[in-house]
Amino acid sequence: MLVQLLFYAFAAVMLAAATAVILVRNPVYSALSLVVTFFSAASIWLLIQAEFLAIVLVLVYVGAVMVLFLFVVMMLDVDLEELRSGFAGHAWLGGLVALLLAAEIVGVIWVKGLGSGIDLRSGLAAAAPGASNTRELGVSLFTHYLYPFELAAMLLLVAIVVAIVLTMRVRHREGVKVQDVAAQVAVRREERVRVLQMPPEKRS
């Protein structure tokens, strides 16, 4: 009972936040609403005992992706008036697509009878006590799927190399300021702080 109440509460917050993402005028509020949406989704995942996915959703999407998103929104000088100028003209098209999608979803669920056999209350088997899906995922990734997992690591390495190739400008070395970490670590107090002995002056 409590789980169901919590589910409806989180789902309501999620729907409201998701609606706010597209309705709010200020893009920063919009991005923050998306954060709320993600948090609610993560909470719902926690309710079905998918704790690893829930934590990853918060860590990766809220912690990294959305922060990046906010940076982009705040740093790029997007002219909102220009973006919105064509809104009225395209509204009918957007409405049409939305109607079409809604009709498809309704069609799949009701007409095709998809989901009729699912009993929402007993759909999920109770997990064995002490079972942890973090552990299960880890075991699966590092045994059966080890090969694609390691290849995905190579993929990330390639992505890093390509990003550096395409953006780093070592050529203009004169203008580039670099850190010398060894020098920073080896610095002594005497090089940075000079203690001066000054006689106090009288206010004239």
Partner 1 sequence: MSSLSTIDLVRSLPEVYLAAAICLVLLFDLFVAGERVARTATLTLLVLVAGAALTLYGTTPGTRILAYGGLYVADDVSRLLKVAAFLFTALTLFYGNGYLKRRGLMRGEFYVLTLSALLGVLVLASATNLLTVYVGIELLSLSLYGIVAFDRDNGIAAEAGMKYFVLGAIASGMLLYGMSLLYGVTGTLDLAQLSTQLTQSPGVGLIMGITFVVAAVAFKFGATPFHMWVPDVYQGAPVASSMLVATVPKLASFALAFRLLAEGLTQQSAEWSAMLAILAVLSVIAGNIIAIAQANILRMLAYSAIANVGFVLFGFVVASATGYEAALYYTLAYVLMTVAAFGAVLAMSRDGFEATRLDDYKGLSRRDPLLAGIIAVVMFSTAGIPPFVGFWAKLRVILALLDGDQLWIAIVAVLASVIGAYYYLRVVWLMYFDPPGERPGPSQALALRVVLALNALAILLLGIAPGGLLDMVQRAIPGG
Binding site for partner 1 (CB under 8 A): 139-140, 142-148, 150-152, 154-155, 157-159, 161-162, 164-166
Kindly state the smallest distance separating residue 129's Cβ from partner 1, in Å.
22
Nearest CA to 59 among 134, 162, 135?
A: 134
The b/e string for 165-187 (b: 16+ C-beta within 10 A; e otherwise) is eeeeeeeeeeeeeeeeeeeeeee
Query: How far apart are CB 153 and partner 1 at their closest, in Å?
Result: 9
**Complex with partner 1: residue 28 or 109, whichever CB lies closer:** 109
**Smaller CB distance to partner 1: residue 25 or 172?**
172
Rounded to a whole number of angstroms, the minimum distance from the CB of residue 146 to partner 1 is: 5
Residue the block writes with tokens 């009729």: 116
Nearer to partner 1, 91 or 163 (CB): 163
Nearer to partner 1, 12 or 158 (CB): 158
What value does the CA radius of gyration of the chain take, rounded to a whole number of Å? 27
φ/ψ of 132, rounded to 5, equals: -135, 125
φ and ψ at 41, to 5 degrees? -60, -40
Minimum distance, C-beta of residue 170 to partner 1, in the bound complex (Å): 9
